[in-house]
Structure 1
Amino acid sequence: MDKGEYLTVSQMAKLHHISRQTLIYYDHIGLFRPQITDDKGYRYYSYLQVNVLKEILFLKKLNLPLEVISKIVKDQDPQEAVGILKDQRKIIDAEIEKLIRTRKYVDERLLLYDTIDFNQPVDEPYFRHVDERSFLALPFEEDICGNEDELQVRFMAAVDEVGSYDLVPSLGFGVIIPKQALQTDLKASSVFVFVPEGSPIIKHSPLVHTLPAAECCCMYYYGRPSHHQNQLRSLLAYIDEKGYAAANDALDICLLDHVKYQGQKDVDFCSLQIPVQRK
């Protein structure tokens, strides 16, 4: 054998910028075997095999499984190869669509975080304009605000309902305190999950409601949505002091879920928002 007419494992690997171990593995599984293996176990490849390995590595870049690549290389059937590549394109298109949706959810969560004024002190009322928002709301069958387990189950029911429209609850969630309750027991009546503007769910689900843009009196606090009585009383007193009154239902929104605050673990960073109008 004239070794000058062949490439060693190291030479073939270097030519294609892969490791020796990769070539040895391909030999082991029968995907790409050397032209010659001598009695000492040394592998030698012919120059004609260079293009074969190049094609294998190209197909691998298309994320085709090695067993599929092996079939293409061994069968050498152009029509079969075209069919496999068309199927792979469908898989890639589906992955791209999924990634686009995932990026949209990331953008929506960042949009939620952009609404947070981290310079605003906690437990202090302030006024701000809030744009129109839509949310899916599920009313309580009974007062469950004191029952954390039941409340979480209700939240998950709302999440599931949103998910039935192929949406992810990336814009926040919380509870609704009806306008009339702001004058009585301050108890929430529903859980809600924000939904993106323009989503089909807004037109098709009777559970979706839209709050118009409004001037709101707000307060950040650490705790749990629905554990808000003290903060609500403080906020309502501030509203009255400034010559305003509640104009619509209040929202208790979970902005950051399970954070650490002043030694407390697993508390939520929440925002109370009450639409207001001049008396």
Structure 2
Amino acid sequence: MDDLISISEMAKLYGITRQTLIYYDEIDLFKPIKVDINGYRYYSRRQIPYLREICFLKSVGISLKDVVKHFQNRSADKEMELLHNQKVKIIQEMSRLSKLRDSITQRIKLYEQSVEADKAQIREPFITKTSTKRILFKEYIKPIHRENLHTTLMELWREVFKKELVPCSGFGSLFHMQDVLNHQTLATAGSCLFLPVWNNDYAESILIPGGECACMYKYGMPYDVEGIEILLDWINSNGYELCGDIIDICLLDTTFYKNQNTLDYGLLQAPIKLKA
């Protein structure tokens, strides 16, 4: 028995439980060399390196099912292939987690903006520089009302979820410049999801250039065009003209409110230039 160690000693050696070793025995992965009449399991010290390799493969995320299969016909070439495949999976997962990290970061920034905006005046236009945005756009389902707005957004979300992507900073609406100038603001308006600028997974995604914008915080549903009309009047009255599509960013939707408020809290961004 000097060459044998008990199941408790073997478990302690690798920082695992007795139950884990019993399970490894049951699935024919790592079996004791001796089981006495009382059912106590004992292992040979020569088995120590085998358990070390099992623990290593598990620690790098390889499933027990694959470890069991691998140990049935283990070789250096096959283990190299197994590890290479796992490395590829890890790189893919790192990429996925990186996207999730960026999505969470952008959503935090959106909420930070909404908290900061709480100090701002509603319907008081101001000028600021905005960054480039990438959007996925879908024209409003007609007739335009709250229920169809939700449906339009969900159709966009569904397209994104198919590719396991997450919009980086929420959603909003887009109003085409010519429609706004022709006083037909809702003619081809629609919902949009904001994607990371670097995301080229969608050929149909649109880049909205950054630059100087006239902006205004407001309460209202995106298809209520009164806010756009107020902002457009302010632009024209202050020596500017509209030079691009207007974005309505939803900062806080009605799911945040505990009172009877049924309107979204949004930020209008209208690209402008000085009148010639």
* Residue 143 (structure 2) pairs with residue 144 (structure 1): yes
- 1:12 corresponds to 2:7: no
Question: For residues 169-193 of structure 1, what are the alpha-carbon distances to aligned partners after superposition, in whole Å with 9 as ceiling and x for unaligned?
Answer: 3233322334554674653632233
**TM-score normalised according to structure 2 size:** 0.77
1:46 aligns with one of 35, 44, 47: 44
Q: Secondary structure at the match of 2:29?
A: coil
Q: 1:248 to 1:94 in 2, by over 3 A?
A: closer
Following the alignment from structure 1 to structure 2, what is the Cα–Cα distance between the partners of residues 188 and 125?
26
1:127 aligns with 2:123: no
State the AA in 1 paired with 2:248: D
The residue number in structure 1 matching 2:27 is 29
After TM superposition, list the pairs within 5 Å mapping 1:48-197 onto structure 2. Answer: 48-113=46-111, 115-116=113-114, 117-121=116-120, 123-129=122-128, 130-140=130-140, 143-146=142-145, 148-159=146-157, 168-179=166-177, 181=180, 184=183, 187=186, 189-191=188-190, 192-197=192-197
Equivalences for residues 256-267 of structure 1 within 5 A: 256-264=252-260
- Distance between the aligned counterparts of 1:248 and 1:67, measured in 2? 56
Letter in 1 for 2:222: P
| Partner SS state of residue 174, structure 1 | strand
TM-score, normalization by structure 1: 0.76
Q: Which amino acid aligns with 2:35?
A: T
SS of aligned partner of 2:122: coil
Contact 2:132–2:207 (8 Å) recurs in 1:
no
Distance 1:125 1:275, change over 3 A: farther
Change (3 A) 1:271 1:16: same
**What's the offset of the Cα at 1:63?**
1.7
> What count of residue pairs does the alignment treat as equivalent?
271
Instruction: Confirm or deny: 8 A CA contact 2:100 2:166 kept in the other structure.
Output: no
Deviation at 1:29, TM superposition (A): 1.6
d(CA) in 2 for partners of 1:115, 1:218: 13
**Hey, what's the Cα distance between the residues in 1 that align with 2:161 and 2:68?**
40
Against the structure 1 CA distance between its residues 62 and 177, is the aligned structure 2 distance closer, same or farther, given a 3 Å change threshold?
Answer: closer
- In structure 2, stretches of 5+ residues that fail to align are none
What amino acid maps onto 2:67 in structure 1? I
Q: Is the 8 A contact 2:172 2:248 kept in 1?
A: yes
Q: CA separation in 1, counterparts of 2:40 and 2:253? A: 60
| Residue of 221, 225, 245 corresponding to 2:222 | 225
Asked if the contact 1:162–1:169 (Cα under 8 Å) also holds between the matched residues in 2, the reply is yes
| Matching residue's letter, 1:104 | D
* In 2: Cα distance, 1:50 partner to 1:209 partner: 58
Task: Indicate conservation of the 8 Å contact 1:37/1:43, yes or no.
Answer: yes
The amino acid across from 1:259 in the alignment is T
Q: Deviations over 1:84-113 (max 9, x none)?
A: 222222222222222233333334434544
Amino acid at match of 1:29: I
Over 3 Å counting, the alpha-carbon distance change for 1:68 and 1:257 in structure 2 is: same
- Alignment partners' CA distance in 1, 2:159 and 2:42: 62
Given that 2:35 and 2:41 are in contact with CA atoms closer than 8 Å, whether structure 1 keeps it comes out as yes
2:251 pairs with 1:252: no
